[in-house]
Amino acid sequence: MNGTVSQTSHTGGMTSQFAQTRSEQGLSLLRSGYLFASRVRRRAGLSSDSGCPVRMPLLGKQTVLVRGEEGVQLFYDTSRVRRDGAMPGVVKGPLFGAGAVHGLDGEAHSVRKNQLADMAYEDERVAAYKPFVAEELEALVTRWRKGDNVYDSTATAFGRASFRWAGIPWSTREMDRWSHRMSRLLDTFGRPAVHLVSRLDRIALDRRFAALIRDVRAGKVAAPEDSVLAHMARLVDENGALVDARTAGIELQNLTRPNVAVARFAAFAATALAEHPEWVERIRRASEERDGALVDVPEAVAFAQEVRRVYPFVPMLPAEATQDTEIQGCPVHKGQRVLLDILGTNTDPASWDRAATFDPERFLGVEDAEAITTFIPQGGADVRTGHRCPGEKIAVTSLSAAVVALCRPEVQLPSDQDDLTFSWTHMLTRPVTGVRVRAA
């Protein structure tokens, strides 16, 4: 029998409820994509939305698959697990870059993360970003008159807004070039046939941003005082030493590229608006009541948060146990992998009322969505001490502004089924067409 539900814990001889599957699951991960976690649970004799931990061999290492509130608490407990070295290099390299904050722990992580949070998370930094994204999206609606797709066009708009906000002195042409390569990096990730393209894009991006940092340090490029670019050129490690230009450039990318990636959510938002037209009118009215504002429209923010909760982006995240521990009575031994089901946690029926229903209403009036333990589309725990993305507020600003733009009366939302179609087995997924859009 491949899966069994009741196992005996080695901690006290108590019978605990957890499941296991004995066969290697690496091939299933490659084939299943976002469906992997639910399929593993069924293979282990559980329901697809069970919160029960599952033990399994994955990519040659014993792994415990977790979800829900207890899973989040274990995964972000730095006294029991670590992120350093947990993510395979083939994943970490193209997505985050070698030496990035995502793979650090302890003092090194704390020092680096605080510097990044100072740049992207504080309210004044988010406020400084808003006029840039509003201006770029206003221009984008005009460009939509010629027809375009939401994914590609918002990736460009978000890239321009991010680079301008960061104080990077590039021409529009150069901003578009690097926005495109950042976007393509995600599009080619997880596709063996074009993996080389993602590696080449990663190399090119790292070289360009490292050169930018070196030029700022050498005085060849003037970075505006107190700009993100200026601060990243002065990035230091836990010993107070200036980090090398390559690492500083990677972290500058990590403050701008995730915002380009929000284009995937923007494409999903367009499909959600097409499927929930009652929200189009509601968001449009709310914007008009604020003199046509694109940012800070509560209804659009709620819609954006629900898109981030329901639609797939990051499927799972790995960590490694640093001591023997347990979750729900399931033993987790030192050195074993802990795999947090991100999408499953965001849609966990034990944590969310009507978890499978798309309902932005659940976020209306919620002042701090990050305080919801099981809402982790861009990581969890405290932004400074945990692994939550420091650019999350900016991401929500971008997405909610795009939602308002898509609700403008002159914008024609998709009606073709092709625009609403995406793959659950391909990571990282998005609507196949990018979602075609046109403005009158």
Rounded Cα–Cα distance for residues 396 and 259 (Å): 9
Q: Which helix (H) or strand (E) holds 157?
A: helix 150-166
Coil vs helix vs strand at 65 = strand
Q: Give the CA count within 13 Å in the CB-facing half-sphere of 134.
A: 13
CA 304 to each of CA 63, 177, 341, 364, 403: distance values in angstroms, whole numbers, following the listed order? 33, 27, 21, 11, 7
Residues belonging to the binding site for heme are 389
Cis peptide before 428 (omega within 30 of 0): yes
Which residue pairs, CB below 8 angstroms and at least 24 apart, start in 362-367?
362/302, 362/306, 363/301, 363/302, 363/305, 363/306, 364/298, 364/299, 364/302, 366/302, 366/305
**What's the distance, Cα to Cα, between the start and end of the chain in Å?**
60
Angle at the Cα of 305 (from 249 to 363), degrees rounded to 5?
145
Alpha carbon 85 to chain centroid distance?
A: 19
Residues belonging to the binding site are 389
For the CA atoms of 77, 80, 85, 86, the dihedral, rounded to the nearest 10 degrees, stands at -70
Q: Which helix (H) or strand (E) holds 7?
A: strand 3-8
Nearest to 373 by CA among 361, 358, 386: 386
Torsion sign across C-alpha atoms 367, 114, 389, 322: negative
Burial of 264 per CB tally in 10 Å (0-12, 13-18, 19+): buried
Contact 383, 103 (CB under 8 A): no
DSSP for 18-49? EEEE-S--HHHHHHHGGGHHHHHHHHTTS-TT
Phi then psi for 166, rounded to 5 degrees? -75, -10
